[in-house]
Structure 1
Amino acid sequence: MTRVLMVGSAPTERGGMATVTALMLKHGSRVASIRMIPTHREGPAGMRLALWLSGTARVAAALARRQADVLHAHVSERGSVVRKGVLVLLAKLFRVPVVLHCHGAEFMDWYRGLPGSAKRVIAWTFRQADLLAVLGESWRTRYMSLLGVKRVVALGNPIELPPAVSDAPGFKIVFLGRFGARKGSADVLTAVAGLSSPVDLVMAGDGEVAETRALAARLGVQAEIHDWLSPTERDRILASAHVFVLPSRDEGLPMAMLESMGHGLVPVVSPVGSIGEVVLDGENGLLVQPGDVAGLTRALESLLADSGLRERLAKAARSTVEPFAIENYIEDLGRHWDRLATS
């Protein structure tokens, strides 16, 4: 069985990358022997530096002792690129093939803003990887064009499919993500305030939580606004909801959207990142351009007014994400690991 050394943020952290990592560790034993070494965790700068140094030393020791057939590194942007860049070079030194698993929704904008010399170093480092795994075909095209990489595969994101979909009465809208401008949380509140009748709204995440609660009060929107939810709490809320809303400015392929579709919620989302590869307007969800609050209100109003439309889109949403089940995902990834280990 292929031995995979996985590195990145601790799987207990918040966010999509950690969720994917946790799923891979939970289900990966069916295709590979996986060892995880965290190199990042949120916290004080001193703690983060110490974890990076100790994690890098542990990775170097494992590679030197020939304890891994493949290095699988999760990467986003900014400091994550630097941390994983060092590990890529270590792996190449010890002749261990590398998978760079790219999650960063803001990577392209960040990269374009760098000086030319930094761009060249980063592009060269990415090209040292034996395979780039990205979140969709649009991201595959962007990485190949921007960095000159050639070995890129679009994997999407994995989810654990619930056995049944939501059949709760009423009309509940859910927003899950970081509160702030990038995810469009204020647009959600403003759009809901413009609906023809009150609805149940649940919002959960980190970031600008207090500011979001204050805005809801000013707009007169009755909303449940929570901090970050545990997976159990998240699933409980999704099982009682009907619509998932995420009018983001930038995205990769949001885990929260895929998870909500698995529960049979209708996604009302913006066509950014790889979202447009999954959600087709009027077929399995509704698409609204980022910042179009009036359009967001109209989309939500159409679902509120037409239960038949809502039921049709919900059924199609669930069918759409069934191929994203973790069982399919890990089998596909396992084939890539095996190929790299034996090439």
Structure 2
Amino acid sequence: MATVIDDMAHSSLSKAVDLVLFDTKKRTRDQRTIWEAIRMRFLLLREWWHVLQPAKVTIAHIHTCSGLSFFLDSLYMMLARIRGVPAALHIHGAKFDEFFDGLSWPGKRVVRFLANRASRVIVLSGEWERALREQFPKARFAVIENGVSQAPLIDVKKDSSVITVLFLGNLCHRKGVMDLISSARDLPPYVRIVLVGGEEEPGMTEKVKRFLEQESLEERVLLAGPATGIEKFRWLRSADIFALPSYAEGVPISMLEALAVGLPAVVTPVGGIPSVLTDKEHALFVQPGDRAALVSAITRLANDENLRRTLGETARAHVMENFGVERSASKYLQVYRELKPRLADRGLPL
């Protein structure tokens, strides 16, 4: 979500409306007590209440995901509605459907109530809209795909004797990390996998390290850690193939960023990915958990430079034309104008 918000803050949207970013991330120490957490949440909500002055704030746009975060973020949405401010609830969670299905009957009623109270529920793809509309038929949906900005040009030195397969994202089972590193045993010896990202699941980094040691794969798989900004794009520019064998996704920004620099990709047709890409035209699709197919797709790209170039160039043109950050910015503005028609004429602040 942080990348999406940062991209919007630097897009033409920031010129069309007065964007004010309200930071809701944790502001207490890691070993905080429950009372410290409750107190800080109360202070944040009080600050939010004072920020929500209808004469100054035209729209509240709240980014959220699944789990406890959804309920906490919905408090901001409800306060906005009480204040008379239209509020958009923007769902990013790749497993929101599983989160909802796992709730008790009263929990589902609460989520439906919150979705119905939002002025708009924004989702990342038509697939997600169809899935959630079945659960929230009274909610007012809008589809805004994640957008990607133009990648900076960076000079990098590449070893022509090595094919680098890049994974970019938080380390977790959901993103198929264990499937990818397991495939290293069966890939050609000149193929190296690089994992760039922090942890989504606590302890995942250590689990990956132990697996690589047990399987003697330390020379085949590099655990690079998290990277942002220029360093992230340095990894993207130095790679030959992008791999994201996820079990659940929205429309992953990391995938769009990889395609925007012209990397050929091996991905799974989950979440909103099939609404963005076509198999064998923009990427190679493999089914989640199919390690043999994953090995086959990566090997095929590693052995065929022309295919890598053709797939990468086609995907790059497709993504920049249809999923650029400015296209997303125009959809944001369209939703804002629907919620507050005066924006179209007076350009009132957000």
Alignment of 1:87-126 (within 5 A): 87-126=76-115
SS of equivalent residue, structure 1 residue 33? coil
Gaps of 5+ in 1: 1-16
Q: CA deviation at 1:195?
A: 1.3
- Residue 315 of structure 1 and its aligned partner are, at CA, apart by 0.7
Question: What is the alpha-carbon distance in structure 2 between the residues aligned to residue 328 and residue 206 of structure 1?
Answer: 29
- In the other structure, the counterpart of 2:245 is 247
Q: Gapped runs of 5+ residues in structure 2?
A: 343-350
Deviation at 1:150, TM superposition (A): 4.0
The structure-2 alpha-carbon separation of the partners of 1:133 and 1:269, relative to structure 1 and needing over 3 Å to count, comes to same
Tell me: CA distance 1:34–1:51, structure 2 relative to 1, closer, same or farther (3 Å). farther
Q: Deviation per CA, 1:249-281: give whole Å up to 9, x if none.
A: 111111111111111111111111101112221
Residue in structure 1 matched with residue 335 of structure 2 by the alignment: 336
Inter-partner Cα distance in structure 2 for 1:87 and 1:163: 35
Secondary structure at 1:60's aligned position in 2? helix
Structure 2 partner of 1:197: 189
1:177-234 per-residue CA deviation (whole Å, 9 max, x = no partner) reads: 2223111111111112201333132112222112212222333332221221122211
The answer as to 2:160 corresponding to 1:162 is no
Distance 1:76 1:51 in 2: 20
Q: State the TM-score, normalized to the length of structure 1.
A: 0.89
Is the Cα contact below 8 Å between 1:242 and 1:264 reproduced in 2?
A: no
Report percent identity of matched pairs.
28
Over residues 309-340 of structure 1, what are the superposed CA-to-partner deviations in whole Å (9 max), with x where a residue is unaligned?
A: 11111111101211222222112211221231
The TM-score with structure 2 as length reference comes to 0.87
CA 1:166–1:44 in structure 2 vs 1: closer, same or farther (change >3 Å)?
A: same
For 2:123, the equivalent position in structure 1 comes to: 134
CA distance in 1, matches of 2:228, 2:310: 29
Match of 2:173 in 1: 181
> Is this contact kept in 2: 1:166–1:263, CA < 8 A?
no
1:188-337 superposed matches below 5 A: 188-207=180-199, 208-221=204-217, 222=219, 223-322=221-320, 323-337=322-336
Greater strand share, structure number? 1
Partners of 1:251 and 1:165 lie apart in 2 by 29
Contact 1:174 1:201 in 2 (8 A): yes
Q: State the secondary structure of the residue aligned to 2:21.
A: strand
* RMSD of aligned residue pairs (Cα, Å): 2.1
| Secondary structure class of the residue paired with 1:174 | strand
Letter of the structure 1 residue corresponding to residue 73 of structure 2: K
The alpha carbon displacement at 1:149 in A equals 3.8
Residues 31 and 331, structure 1, Cα contact 8 Å, conserved in 2: no
- Describe the SS at the equivalent of 2:57: coil
Select which of 7, 10, 13 maps to 1:23. 7
Shift of 1:55: 2.1
1:280-306 Cα deviation digits (max 9, x unpaired): 211111111111101100001110111
Deviates more, 1:61-70 or 1:238-247: 61-70
Aligned residues: 327
